[in-house]
């Protein structure tokens, strides 16, 4: 039941610290130390050694929020494990598949495990490679919250995101759990392929251990403030723009999708550097801009893109970390602050205020947050 929360979505947002905590317990090896036995991975995914040696290329297929998690996955797999990775919408991939490349790992990401397009894309991949030489054959990995589902039966490897059942149609805790799945996969591959030093791996793991407390802190400090902010956008606001760069561009996409789905406000997301190539023409005082501006390699760039938006009278909302909040206060009209976090891990925190923002706007509008119009939790038709 809703345990005192007004909607399942809010309950599920608040479950995220616990989901991350139990996921870390399952997938991180507590006994791993930097200098120990090289065959003992810091990550417990139970993947076969063949997969570590035989993966030169990764292709990911997914839909909706799972596609956003996959874009973060691409960043991690390329930057940490050095494996070229593509991400396709499953509904597109089905009808224009890539030429077959040997030693490819195909990953299907689906919370429900039943999304028709994602299943069909994976089945097609398996079928078209089944008659080929073994190095061309499909290695299929599912990242799913329901390992007993159809996708679990198609794939020969599974990462169970174990977020618990999600009732709200808008994905929240399952998104976070999918993103974690990609951290594990990228770290495990990086460890076996030696693309990261053990010191760096242990630093990232240390950072992951702080995430549950940091999500808790974000919920405690931001929930009320964001609810208050949300009141500004429930009457006249018809459009929102979300911007982000690098590992946080997918978070801008996710923020925009959440808002569209449950509040029915039109929202678009762009890589911040793309604004000047067209979308900036949309901006005026009626179009709020949400910038995901987490400290790191592209922070200054995002800030300068945000300032360009401000010069067009847009109301600017910034998602940043405590580390930068004083300085960021000069740029943004409103600041949504999360605890300090290194750039690599920042998407897991940056998404939380955006989930809350869309939730509160929809709830204040009195909309059916858990069952938005025209949407189903599991899309089993093409
Ligand atoms: C967004 C949302 C949808 C799903 C999409 C894929 O909040 O819920 O966009 O992410 O329908 O669903 P799964 O992950 O079950 O394949």
**Each residue of 242-269: pLDDT tens digit?**
999 999 999 999 999 999 999 999 999 9
The pLDDT value given to residue 52: 87
Q: How far apart are CA 253 and CA 271, in angstroms?
A: 9
Distance 164 CA to ligand 1 centre (A): 15
CB of 171 closer than 6 angstroms to any ligand 1 atom: yes
112 CA closest ligand 1 atom index = 15
Residues whose CB falls within 8 Å of the CB of residue 104, separated by 6 or more in sequence, listed in order: 55, 56, 57, 58, 59, 138, 139
Q: Which of 256, 220, 242, 207 is nearest to 338 (CA)?
A: 220
Phi, psi of 227 (to 5 degrees): -60, -40
Q: Which of 193, 61, 53, 186 is nearest to 115 (CA)?
A: 61
The pLDDT value given to residue 89: 98
Distance 93 CA to ligand 1 centre (A): 17
Q: What is the ipTM of this complex?
A: 0.98
The pLDDT value given to residue 14: 98
CB of 379 closer than 6 angstroms to any ligand 1 atom: yes
pLDDT at 317 over 80: yes
378 CA closest ligand 1 atom index = 15
Mean pLDDT for all residues in the chain: 94
64 CA closest ligand 1 atom index = 9
Q: How far apart are CA 330 and CA 157, in angstroms?
A: 48
Burial letters for 109-126: b for 16+ Cβ neighbours within 10 Å, e otherwise? bbbbbbbbbbbbbbbbbb
For ligand 1, atom 10, the nearest C-alpha belongs to 65
144 CA closest ligand 1 atom index = 14
Measured distance between the N- and C-terminal CA atoms of the chain, rounded to whole angstroms: 31
Per DSSP, 98 falls in state: P
Name the active-site residue from 103, 301, 310, 377: 377
Which pLDDT tens digit goes with each residue over 73-116? 999 999 999 999 999 999 999 999 989 998 999 999 999 999 99
CB of 110 closer than 6 angstroms to any ligand 1 atom: yes
CB of 118 closer than 6 angstroms to any ligand 1 atom: yes
Instruction: Tell me how crowded residue 310 is: count the other CB atoms within 10 A of its CB.
Output: 16
CB of 65 closer than 6 angstroms to any ligand 1 atom: yes
Distance 252 CA to ligand 1 centre (A): 16
For ligand 1, atom 5, the nearest C-alpha belongs to 64
Is 377 one of the catalytic residues? yes
> How sure is the predictor about 36, in pLDDT bands with cuts at 50, 70 and 90?
low
CB of 64 closer than 6 angstroms to any ligand 1 atom: yes
């Amino acid at each position: 039941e809703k345990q005192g929360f007004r909607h399942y979505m809010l309950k599920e947002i608040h479950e995220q610290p616990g989901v991350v905590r139990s996921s870390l317990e399952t997938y991180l090896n507590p006994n791993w130390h930097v200098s120990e036995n090289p065959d003992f991975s810091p990550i417990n995914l139970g993947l076969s050694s063949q997969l570590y040696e035989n993966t030169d290329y990764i292709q990911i297929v997914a839909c909706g929020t799972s596609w956003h998690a996959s874009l973060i996955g691409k960043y991690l797999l390329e930057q940490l494990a050095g494996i070229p990775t593509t991400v396709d919408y499953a509904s597109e991939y089905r009808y224009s598949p890539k030429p077959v490349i040997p030693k490819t790992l195909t990953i299907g990401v689906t919370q429900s495990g039943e999304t028709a397009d994602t299943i069909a894309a994976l089945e097609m991949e398996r079928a078209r490679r089944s008659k080929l030489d073994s190095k061309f054959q499909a290695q299929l990995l599912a990242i799913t919250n329901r390992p007993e589902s159809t996708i679990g039966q198609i794939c020969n490897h599974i990462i169970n995101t174990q977020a618990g059942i999600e009732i709200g149609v808008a994905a929240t805790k399952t998104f976070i759990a999918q993103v974690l799945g990609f951290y594990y996969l990228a770290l495990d591959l990086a460890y076996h392929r030696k693309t990261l030093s053990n010191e760096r791996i242990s630093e990232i793991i240390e950072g992951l251990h702080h995430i549950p407390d940091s999500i808790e802190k974000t919920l405690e400090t931001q929930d009320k403030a964001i609810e208050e902010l949300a009141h500004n956008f429930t009457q006249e606001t018809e459009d929102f723009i979300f911007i982000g760069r690098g590992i946080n561009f997918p978070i801008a996409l996710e923020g925009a999708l959440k808002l569209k789905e449950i509040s029915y406000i039109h929202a678009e997301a762009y890589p911040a550097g793309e604004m000047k190539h067209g979308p900036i023409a949309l901006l005026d005082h009626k179009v709020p801009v949400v910038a995901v501006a987490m400290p790191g390699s592209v922070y200054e760039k995002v800030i300068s893109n945000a300032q360009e938006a401000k010069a067009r009278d847009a109301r600017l909302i910034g998602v940043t970390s405590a580390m930068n909040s004083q300085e960021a206060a000069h740029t943004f009209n409103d600041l949504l602050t999360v605890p300090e976090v290194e750039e690599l891990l920042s998407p897991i925190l940056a998404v939380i205020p955006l989930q809350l923002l869309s939730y509160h706007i929809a709830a204040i509008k009195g909309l059916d947050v858990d069952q938005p119009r025209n949407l189903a939790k599991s899309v089993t038709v093409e």
